[in-house]
Amino acid sequence: MKNTRIYHNPRCSKSRGTLELLQENSIQPEVILYLDNPPDADELRSLLSMLDMPPRALLRTGESEYAELGLADPGKSDDEIVEAMAAHPRLIERPIFVHNGRAVIGRPPENVLRIL
């Protein structure tokens, strides 16, 4: 796994803006199209550790899968949430930028500058 990477959705304006900002700062990250190549549960746990956030904070609550899987239920465990994101990558907040063992969500895109 490359040291500098972005979990990217090219259809998302924030994701595109984040990638453009990185390139403007001479950063050429490995681009992971996470909807096509979703991270598995172990990779998600690693990302969450680098992000220093609980799994629920990485969930996109507006996606249909969120309601369909009952993820608003506070009784859902962290493992259940991670497994749901691994199985349904649309649930993963985007973009996630990883650099030198640290990670940040590019919302707003300028967030990525904090870890360069």
Instruction: Please give the positions annotated as active site.
Output: 12
| Helix segments in 1-116, DSSP class H | 13-24, 41-51, 64-68, 78-87
Helix axis angle for 41-51 and 78-87, nearest 10°, is 120
Amino acid identity at 10: P
